[in-house]
Structure 1
Amino acid sequence: MLNYRIVVYPARRLLELYDGTQRIGYYPIAVGKRSTPTPPGQYTIATKVVNPGGAFGSRWLGLSIPFYGIHGTNNPSSIGQAVSKGCIRMHNHDVENLFRLVEIGTPVTIDP
């Protein structure tokens, strides 16, 4: 039985994937800029969309807080930066891997 959860560390520009207490993956990310920070808190994956279009890259994992998600990017040079409107950006190949593994309802913790 898989017990996946995601932990996002905006200050470290890092997303970690856990199965229970075992870290099974980690990925570099981009986060919200100072004027539109990534909101800390406890959420879940609420939606999954393949090829959402535009700046969202190849995958969208919508969070249970409206208008925020984990998604790919058409600007890979932004990864590692605080440049988004609050969403969590990943390289497309990384978000595609994450998308395959997690289900709707997967817990997501965004560290303050």
Structure 2
Amino acid sequence: MNYSILILLSKRQLMLAKNGKYFKSYPVGVGKFNTPSPTGRFMIVSKVPNPGGPFGVMWLGLSVPHHGIHGTNNPASIGGQVSKGCIRMQNRDVIDLAGYVTVGTPVTIRS
């Protein structure tokens, strides 16, 4: 399958597409004002289950250093500007997303 991810920072929303058609949407937490999430085109470069700490149950590393899409140990943070630039998801949502995507999946982050 041909999956891709679009993250809309202003809407705090991650959308998953299959063959160019969006079929899933998830609420996310994004970077703080002083540590904004990067914008641009990236790809998933790693998938790490149970990374520990604040990263919840899954880490999907991006091709921009020190940034990723991950779960959280603070579910109340979803929907806010709360991170150091990473994209936070509910643990159940990041597990669902990880079931679709692989290393190499393109990720576009827009303001």
Q: Give the TM bin, normalised by the shorter chain.
A: over 0.9
C-alpha distance in 1 between matches for 2:81 and 2:19 = 29
Q: How big is the shift at 1:20?
A: 1.8
1:17 paired with 2:12, answer no
Aligned residue number for residue 46 of structure 1: 45
RMSD across aligned C-alpha pairs, in angstroms? 0.5
Which secondary structure state, in structure 2, belongs to the residue aligned with residue 108 of structure 1? strand
The C-alpha deviation readout for 1:31-70, integer Å capped at 9, x for no partner, is 0000000000000000000000000000000000110000
Which secondary structure state, in structure 2, belongs to the residue aligned with residue 12 of structure 1? coil
Q: Give unmatched runs, 5+ long, in structure 2.
A: none
Aligned residue number for residue 33 of structure 2: 34
C-alpha distance in 2 between matches for 1:58 and 1:21 = 27
Q: How big is the shift at 1:17?
A: 0.1
Q: Which segment is superposed worse, 16-25 or 76-85? A: 16-25
Aligned positions, number? 111
Aligned residue number for residue 5 of structure 1: 4
Which secondary structure state, in structure 1, belongs to the residue aligned with residue 99 of structure 2? helix
Divergent runs of 4+, >4 A: none
Which secondary structure state, in structure 1, belongs to the residue aligned with residue 29 of structure 2? strand
Aligned residue number for residue 109 of structure 2: 110
Q: Structure 1-normalised TM-score?
A: 0.98
C-alpha distance in 2 between matches for 1:100 and 1:21 = 18
Q: Which has the higher helix share?
A: 1
Q: Give unmatched runs, 5+ long, in structure 1.
A: none
C-alpha distance in 2 between matches for 1:93 and 1:32 = 20
Q: How big is the shift at 1:24?
A: 1.5
